[in-house]
Amino acid sequence: MTAPAPADRKPLSAPQKAMHKLGLVRDIDLALHLPLRYEDETRIVKLRDARDGQMVQIEGTVTDVEVTYRPRRQLLVTLDDGSDTCTLRFFSFYPSHQKTLAVGARIRARGELRGGFVGRTLLHPAFKLAGGELPDALTPVYPTSAQLPQPYLRKAVAGALGRADLSETLPPELLRSLGEVVRGSWTLRQALQYLHHPGPDVSLDALEDRSHPAWQRLKAEELLAQQLAQFTAKRERDALRAPALPTRAGGLPEQLLGVLPFGLTAAQRRVSEEIARDLSRTVPMHRLLQGDVGSGKTVVAALAAAIAIDAGWQCALMAPTEILAEQHFGKLVGWLEPLLAPLGKRVAWLTGSQKKKQRQEMLDLIASGEAALVVGTHAVIQDQVQFKNLALALIDEQHRFGVAQRLALRSKLGADEQGAAQEPHLLMMTATPIPRTLAMSYYADLDVSTIDELPPGRTPIVTKVVSDSRRAEVIERIRAQVAQGRQVYWVCPLIEESEALDLSNATATHAELSEALPGVLVGLLHSRMAPAEKKAVMSMFSGGQMGVLVSTTVIEVGVDVPNASLMVIEHAERFGLSQLHQLRGRVGRGAAASACVLMYTPPDGGRLGETARERLRAMAETNDGFEIARRDLEIRGPGEFLGARQSGAPLLRFADLTTDGHLLDWAREAAPWMLAHRPVQAEQHIARWLGTRSAYLKA
Ligand code: ADP
Ligand code: MG
């Protein structure tokens, strides 16, 4: 679609703006905007023939209207369709409801029929006056937003579907191989026509579980687009140049291994070799290092840094929070500075909260190259930071950084002596293990190294699920731990969208624990505190003077205090499984037996729901991060894992990696073939499905 000339460009209406916000700009975007579900308005059923739980459309006469106040204000309308009666129940209603639903009126109502003690009801049904034509196809219900009414969107989609270019981008070879994976050979046009406007005789079940061949066809297309975009990004990157960083016998990495107080695990050795191999090449490394919490990623990062420094280059390590950055800094200074000092080099430190003078000092060290390693927060990527020769960028907890930030770090290396553009090598780290299907689909452009074993001597963490009603017992347990010289984390509930509430909760808990545990220093850490204050609290906790640390979540994933042996997570039911697992990983880092208490709060007067309880039970059953990630993917979908990547990268809209592995396998084979043999169609296919969003995949 071409943009209209400025003269006849009309301002966008509110629904148009809302459509743009949903990414529905081109005709093809609308054509590929598929229904979430359908409503069957093609038939009127008799109440006598309908079963409870069924979506029904009925027509009848209003025989009674009543507003009651018990148990709360509601409008009850009795409808008689000649075969039986049923009650329409509204908890929110307006005078217009009562006007239309007057005694004697003939009404058409649609909703889910519920059986019940007081007779059958439709809760908040859609309704209008009876009569009027019945549509001859199922009515699509599209994903939409509050500013975009369903009927408007329906019309827009129907119009766009007629105009859009739906010619095949898949060459016959790929259609053939796809035919071996999915039933039926649907063209794109047929599949779209069918899914937008299925006939009245179609089974809703087959449509809604998305196993239908038309759905399969679209999901395959979508996965292909995603794979094509990622393979393209990878190719572009492979054409770039990075400094080769060979590992030298007897060099810094070997010296570092010599001074470490422990030997590497086999997994740490393996991933370090994978990284060293990448670094020795002139193609920029683009590798994700994944390893469960506590698996020892930091030392692997330090070894990579040592390789870069040994080859005469600079290295940067960026962490998402100041506390994390500080911990890394402390560790890396301890390990590396004794080795760097004889070379006249040091480790620099950069954060947003730094005093101006100190910051300038650091900037000078970095520009001159005296700082061989720079550790810090987002401050590392700011414009004023000029590296002399950055060759390796390390990003910890990578999912907490955005695409733009990763790009900024990569741009910190300029041209080489010959004037050709150079890129630093990039190593991203994450403690949220990514399930295999997800890694293959979203991270197809990344090389992945996995640390799949923990250092020896860790005692497994025992996880208990308890109700908040046993709070006193839990506090008793804290007292016992502290009496033995151990330390305790207490993580406060995450209240979505309300930082203020988060805070008042944490403050209240802090007061409660301080009072219940006289003689114990109880600290408080939350995101609103000034960095210096946070730092002071954290250092008292790592130093061992503070027995209990109350903290709001999210902020401090990754801290390392081996003496902490108990973690209490309040309102555990509000967290994702992977998040709980990460939090839990803060304990069990030393030799002491460690425990994690997942405390849940049942809703007012009720019991915690079955799914919620099952999720918490799963946490108690396994300590295996991969298993937990797999379950989390099932329950919550991929958003959790992709983190910031999600903001730019096209999330899959239709394909579901837990059920569509066969389509993903097909797409992974098809994509490189198509790029090699049908590059023009490949480009068209990417443009059709991803529009401009594919640029984000390059980060
Ligand atoms: P994470 O992978 O979660 O970032 P860390 O790098 O913080 O884990 O390591 C967790 C703890 O384990 C640290 O105290 C670290 O010094 C220690 N550690 C790392 N590797 C080993 C090893 N091979 N043997 C013993 N301890 C180790
Ligand atoms: Mg870490």
In the predicted structure, residue 553 carries a pLDDT above the cut 70: no
| Pocket test residue of 270, 295, 557, 586 for ligand 1, highest count of atoms within 8 A of CB | 295
Asked whether the CA dihedral 363, 369, 370, 372 is positive or negative, the reply is: positive
Mean pLDDT of the chain: 85
Compute φ and ψ for 503, nearest 5 degrees.
Answer: -70, -45
How far the first Cα of the chain sits from its last, in Å, is: 28
| Nearest ligand to residue 395 Cα | 2
Which residue puts its alpha carbon closest to atom 25 of ligand 1?
A: 455
pLDDT at 645 over 50: no
Confidence class of residue 192 from pLDDT cuts 50, 70 and 90?
A: very high
Structure tokens at 449: 């190294």
Candidates 79, 65, 66, 178; CA nearest to 129 is 79
pLDDT at 2: 43
> 650 falls in which pLDDT band (50, 70, 90)?
very low
Separation between Cα atoms, residue 535 and residue 189, nearest integer Å: 60
Q: Is the pLDDT assigned to residue 200 strictly greater than 60?
A: yes
Beta strands at 286-291 and 447-451: parallel, antiparallel or unpaired = parallel
Q: Residue 241: CA atoms inside 13 Å, Cβ hemisphere, count?
A: 10
Query: Does residue 293's CB lie within 6 angstroms of at least one atom of ligand 1?
Result: yes
How many CB atoms are closer than 10 A to CB 131? 8
- What's the 303 CA to ligand 2 centre distance in angstroms? 14
| Nearest ligand to the CA atom of 257 | 1
Q: Which tokens go with 539?
A: 């250092």
Helices 213-238 and 172-179, packing angle to 10 deg: 130
String of DSSP letters for 578-639: HHHHHHHTTSS-SSS-EEEEEEE--STTS---HHHHHHHHHHHH---HHHHHHHHHHHH-TH
Please report the pLDDT score of residue 605 as a whole number.
62
The protein residue with its alpha carbon nearest to ligand 1, atom 18, reads 296
Determine contact, residues 573/555, Cβ cutoff 8 Å: no
What separation in Å is there between the alpha carbon of 365 and the centre of ligand 1? 29
Q: Given a cut of 90, is residue 184 above it in pLDDT? A: no
pLDDT the model gives residue 637:
59
pLDDT tens digit sequence for 3-29: 444 455 678 888 899 888 888 889 999
Pick the more confident residue, 390 or 115. Answer: 390
pLDDT of residue 3: 45
Count the Cβ atoms, other than its own, within 10 Å of residue 149: 14
Closest by Cα among 344, 350, 343, 357 to 316: 350
User: Token digits for 6?
Assistant: 């400025």
- In this structure, the residue with its CA closest to atom 15 of ligand 1 is 296
pLDDT in tens, 436-473: 666 666 666 778 899 988 888 777 889 999 998 899 99
Give the DSSP letter string of 57-83.
Answer: EEEEEEEEEEEE-SSS-EEEEEEE-SS
The residue to mutate among 297, 333, 560, 578, having the most atoms of ligand 1 within 8 angstroms of its beta carbon, is 560
Closest CA to ligand 1's atom 9:
296
Whose structure tokens read 């400094």? 243
- Asked whether 116 and 87 are in contact (CB, 8 A), the reply is no
Q: Tell me how far apart the alpha carbons of residues 414 and 386 are, in angstroms, rounded to a whole number.
A: 10
Q: Is 498 helix (H, G, I), strand (E, B) or coil?
A: coil
CA of 294 to the centre of ligand 1 (A): 5
| Residue nearest atom 17 in ligand 1 by C-alpha distance | 296
Q: Is 589 in the pocket of ligand 1 (CB under 6 A)?
A: yes
- At 648, the pLDDT band (50, 70, 90 cuts) reads very low
3-state secondary structure 375-407: EECHHHHCCCCCCCCEEEEEECCHHHCCHHHHH
User: CA–CA separation, 272 vs 263, rounded Å?
Assistant: 13
Domains and CATH numbers, the chain: 43-134 (2.40.50.140), 252-451 (3.40.50.300), 461-622 (3.40.50.300)
| Nearest protein Cα to ligand 1, atom 12 | 296
Q: Whose CA is nearest to atom 13 of ligand 1?
A: 296
Task: Give the ligand at the shortest distance from the Cα of 319.
Answer: 2
Q: Which of 72-81, 171-180, 243-252, 597-606 has the lowest mean pLDDT?
A: 597-606
Range list of β-strands (E), 203-362: 286-291, 314-318, 346-350
Tokens of 213: 């061949």
Distance 334 CA to ligand 1 centre (A): 14
What's the token pair of residue 409?
A: 């770090």
How many CA atoms does the CB half-sphere of 189 hold within 13 Å?
Answer: 7
Of the residues 257, 259, 260, 262, which should be mutated to test ligand 1's pocket, given the most ligand atoms within 8 Å of the CB?
262
Ligand 1, closest atom to CA 396? 4
- 437 token code pair: 């299907």
Q: Is the pLDDT at 590 greater than 70, yes or no?
A: yes
What local confidence, expressed as pLDDT, does residue 5 receive?
Answer: 45
| pTM of the full structure | 0.69
**CB distance 294 to ligand 1 below 6 Å:** yes
Tally the residues of the chain: 699
Are 638 and 438 within 8 A, CB to CB?
yes
- Provide the pLDDT for residue 1: 42
Range among 195-199, 369-373, 468-472, 583-587 with highest mean pLDDT value: 369-373
Q: Is 455 in the pocket of ligand 1 (CB under 6 A)?
A: yes
> Which of 284-293, 430-439, 593-602 is predicted least confidently?
430-439
- What protein residues have CB closer than 5 angstroms to ion ligand 2? 558
Centroid of ligand 1 to alpha carbon of 298 (angstroms): 7
Give the rounded percent of residues in the chain with a pLDDT score beyond 90. Answer: 45
Does pLDDT of 495 surpass 60? no
DSSP 115: -
CA of 588 to the centre of ligand 2 (A): 14
CA 309 to CA 298: how far, in whole Å?
Answer: 16
The finding on whether 265 has its CB within 6 A of some atom of ligand 1 is yes
Residue 295 CB–ligand 1 contact under 6 Å: yes
Q: Which residues pair with 376 in a beta bridge?
A: 318, 350
What is the predicted pLDDT for the residue at 292?
Answer: 83
- Banded model confidence at residue 485, pLDDT cuts 50, 70, 90: very high
Ligand 2 centroid distance, CA of 604 (Å): 38
Q: Provide the Cα torsion 670, 673, 676, 678; round to 10°.
A: -60
Closest CA to 30 of 182, 128, 143, 109: 143
Quick one: DSSP state of residue 242? -
- CA-to-CA dists, residue 687 to 225, 257, 532, 684, angstroms: 9, 49, 48, 5
Cα-to-chain-centroid distance, residue 567:
24
The predicted pLDDT at position 417 comes to: 57
C-beta of 268 in contact with ligand 1 (< 6 A): yes
Instruction: Say yes or no: CB of residue 298 within 6 Å of ligand 1.
Output: yes
Residue 342: HSE in the Cβ half-sphere, 13 Å Cα cutoff: 6
Are 208 and 40 within 8 A, CB to CB?
A: no
Longest distance between any two alpha carbons in the chain, whole Å: 96
Q: Which ligand has the nearest atom to the CA of 292?
A: 1
The amino acid that residue 530 corresponds to is A
